[in-house]
Chain A
Amino acid sequence: MIDWGSIFSNAAVELISPTTAAYALAALGLAVHFGYTGLLNFGQAGFMAIGAYGYAISVLTFGFPVWGAVLVGIGASIVFALILGIPTLRLRADYLAIVTIAAAEIVRLLFTTNTFVAVTGSANGLSEYKGGFRALNPLSFEGKAGFGPWMFSANDWWNIIVGWSVVILAVLFTWLLMRSPWGRVIKGIREDEDAVRALGKNVYSYKMQSLIIGGVFGTLAGMIFIMPRAVIPSAYATSLTFFIWAILLLGGAATILGPVLGSIVFWVLLSFFSGFIARAVEAGWFPISEVQAGQLRFILVGVAIMLLVIFRPQGLLGNKKEMSFVK
């Protein structure tokens, strides 16, 4: 018999997990890039990797405090955005896409190669960098606390609280930006950058600002992402970027809460499907192995996203009216 209770409670855990927060923040960064500015960044995984490694290496190799490690990560991501943007932002949108996808792979391979194993841990990655972060935790209870399906340890609660606080701050920041004249210029660039240039705006500089802001969101997401787990280079493969794109389109590209809702829906669905398939295979409902079952959940999520794109192309929170003008 299938234990529906545990399937649902596992799915409910994803609703507020720090991983959901990390994906939401990374997707919000893409919303700034693509939804508002029209920049095609296919290297968000690279920005996340820079956040993860920037934090972990600062702590482990240089013994930096939490705030120092965070600043190193942000600084590295600004440099990364400049390296990507300076040669490409004067060119057509597709050039940025090609350069970002390649640069993110280069970043991942640099962290994977054995050459820097003393600093990066190579394919094994890094761990033991969480002490400083956990020392800041004001919660100090033994065992687990919470209610319903949300029973977590003090460290888990700390990850959740910090992760979602950063998401909320980023949402507020983006909301303030996009309702301002700055946001108007950014949206104008998305529509037609030559027209905006003809009105006296320095389009190149605005595109660079947008690339940096969305990239820093990705970097902060990378830091939230590694708090409940270790840093493993293979986590930052191109597929991570595409999951974040899926979340963005799921929620609505030019919306502020869309990426957050998209991430929640994505993770809850993924957890639900994987729980359901695993139990169903155990119960002998499907004639497939457990390894195959692990892949099937992505297929089901893919089908769910396809259905959504067909029947609600603007995303969950997108504006229906906009779609009638998309060529």
Chain B
Amino acid sequence: MSSETTPTSGPVKSTGLHLGDAEPGCRKVDPILVADGVTRTFGGLKAVDVAHVEIPRGAITALIGPNGAGKTTFFNLLTGFDKPDSGTWQFDGRSLAHVPAYRVARMGLIRTFQLTKSLGLLSVLDNMKLGAKDQTGENLFRSLLPFLWRKQEQEIEAKAVELLTRFKLDAKQHDYAASLSGGQRKLLEMARALMSDPTLVMLDEPMAGVNPALTQSLLDHILDLKTQGMTVLFVEHDMHMVRHIADWVVVMAEGRIVAEGDPHSVMQDQAVIDAYLGAHHDTDLGAAHTSNVEAVKELIDDEQ
């Protein structure tokens, strides 16, 4: 299991994912998700304007970029939670344009939210069970006849308890999800997403608000998904994490993909530094940019 890999040796990275040069929109050997010309405007603001991007299968891809770059909006568009002004995108070769969110999820593309959505007045266990797909008892008429779904319910429960144990939430299974801490809710949301055995998991800032002591175990969980054959696409601001687990990094700024590459080379890309500091960073280094400066410092520190 990947949890045995120590930080010093580092997890095994997937390489050779792309064809040709590692430039924005470059082709992948085996893409699972392909987006073309996806745009979304809010009033006059072009929040997302992605000409072409491919997400490699079976790898961990990080989507990074400064605040307001359009990462969450892009997630919403891909998963059917928002409608683009234009564009097409395919998941596993099937077009997802105009497919409602719940159908996207049924196809095996499961997402989590930047602002955690735990179902507060359901128990932790019920939160988990809700994640399982193809449940007989979720049909109105069959739900009235428990003998039709009791066996499946037991299997789902066993699976839920197993996952909760893996995420160290099993002791909380009978509590209301509302009683969990912020970090525990992030864990619950991730565990719940796994109940349906997705092929692609999209995590929007899985680490935000998680105690550093938990971070390592979350990282291990994400690496674990890869060893189980899932594809992971995640948004994250923590550069250490990106560097540690991502096989591929896609950088967004002002709605566009500005750089792509493996975590080491992408950090040296001038476009990335520009994105984080603003293109006019020579003249305009206000207080608003301090956090971005921090992020870039982290990158440079890591490089050395």
Contacts and interface: CB of A to CB of B under 8 A. Distances in A.
Interface of A: 173, 176-177, 180-185, 187-188, 190-192, 194-203, 209, 254, 321-322, 325
B62 to A, nearest CB: 21
Most buried by A among B81, B106, B135: B135
Interface in B121-160: 121-122, 126-127, 129-131, 133, 135-140, 143-144, 146, 149, 153
A184 B195 CA distance: 15
12 contacts: A173-B144, A176-B143, A176-B146, A182-B137, A191-B119, A196-B119, A197-B105, A198-B79, A198-B112, A199-B110, A199-B196, A325-B179
B122 A187 contact: yes
Interface residues of B, number: 43
Interface string B52-69: 000000000000000000
B29 interface: no
Contact of B113 (A190, A191, A195): A195
Contacts of A188: 119, 122, 126-127, 130
B101 A195 contact: no
B178 A200 contact: no
B153 A181 contact: yes
Nearest to B133: A200
Interface of B: 79, 81, 100-103, 105-106, 110-113, 117-122, 126-127, 129-131, 133, 135-140, 143-144, 146, 149, 153, 176, 178-179, 189, 192-193, 195-196
A194 B117 contact: yes
A188 to B, nearest CB: 5
A181 B137 contact: yes
Contact of B111 (A183, A192, A198, A209): A198
From A180, A200, A322, name the one whose CB has the most chain B CB atoms within 10 angstroms: A200
Contacts of B131: 199
B143 A198 contact: no
A239 B179 CA distance: 38
B143 A200 contact: no
A185 B130 contact: yes
B138 A195 contact: no
Contacts of B133: 199-200
A167 B146 CA distance: 22
B121 A185 contact: no
A180 B136 CA distance: 10
B138 to A, nearest CB: 5
